[in-house]
Amino acid sequence: MGCRIDGCQAEYVRVQYADNCLNLIPDNVSDRQALFTGDILSTGYWAADISKIKEGDMVAILGAGPTGLCAAICARLHNPSKIVMIDVMQSRLDFAKEHGIGDVHLNANETDVEEYVRNINGRGADVVMEVAGGKDTFQTAWRIARPNATVCVVALYNEPQSIPLPDMYGKNLTFITGGVDASKCDEILEHISAGRIDTEPLITHTFPLEEWREGYELFSNKEDGVIKVALKP
């Protein structure tokens, strides 16, 4: 329902003003296919939209977790030349590669990301999405961006971030961030219905609703290669 009132992980939910805030799921779209529409998929769709990705752009995404994977899936709708996935968890990069999400998969613990990205095309990424929200990931985001690039900050940080303007002088970067409005769920459902978006593989584990605690612990501890857990009433 939102981040400040009770959630929807229950058998029944009363939705106020439902006619104004719900979207009909097309008949050919299953519940599992539609599951992420209202949250992480809408975040990825919003990020790809406000980043203004142009056809042929190289897009770098910091964070190959569930939201980063959704951002990559939605970025593909804009026909970029290459999507570079960056993370420190090799299992997540392997998952992305196995499912065809992204074109290049970089482990930031093993690769000089800034140098690698710059060498792909000689200048750096046209669009960078910072989805990780980790230590120094914001700094990595603007460093791997080419001059006049767009850096879209999707992540939530635990601490304030600094913008070292003297260090980035001459890069002429555009920073974009904000709160996800989730106002395009109808468009997302159309893409799912047409087969242009498929996030069902992200559901790596399913638990009955009464075993919600086990599902949360698995996800929180990042065990057994989990990406997302679905709870089934």
Q: What is the pLDDT along the chain (233 residues), one digit of tens a residue?
A: 556 666 677 778 888 888 888 899 999 999 999 999 988 999 999 999 999 999 999 999 999 999 999 999 999 999 999 999 999 999 999 999 999 999 999 999 999 999 999 999 999 999 999 999 998 999 999 999 999 999 999 998 989 999 999 999 999 999 999 888 888 999 999 999 999 999 999 999 999 999 999 999 999 999 999 999 999 98
> Tokens representing 184?
């395009």
- What's the pTM value of the predicted model, to 2 decimals? 0.93
Instruction: Reduce the DSSP state of residue 113 to 3 states and report it.
Output: helix
**Cβ distance 47 to 131 under 8 Å?**
yes
Q: Which of 169, 135, 130 is nearest to 47 (CA)?
A: 130
Cα–Cα distance measured from residue 24 to residue 21, given in angstroms and rounded to the nearest whole number? 10
Q: Which of 41, 56, 62, 208 is nearest to 134 (CA)?
A: 62
How does 196-207 read in b/e, with b if 16+ C-beta sit within 10 Å?
ebebeebbbbeb
What is the set of domains in the chain, with CATH numbers?
A: 40-177 (3.40.50.720)
Q: Facing residues of 125 across strands?
A: 145
In which element (H, E) is residue 92 found? helix 90-98
pLDDT of residue 3: 63
pLDDT of residue 45: 97
Q: Centre a 10 Å sphere on the Cβ of residue 232 and count the other Cβ atoms it contains.
A: 10
Write down the residue that tokens 């590669």 correspond to. 97
Cα–Cα distance measured from residue 91 to residue 184, given in angstroms and rounded to the nearest whole number? 31
Write down the residue that tokens 């603007």 correspond to. 142
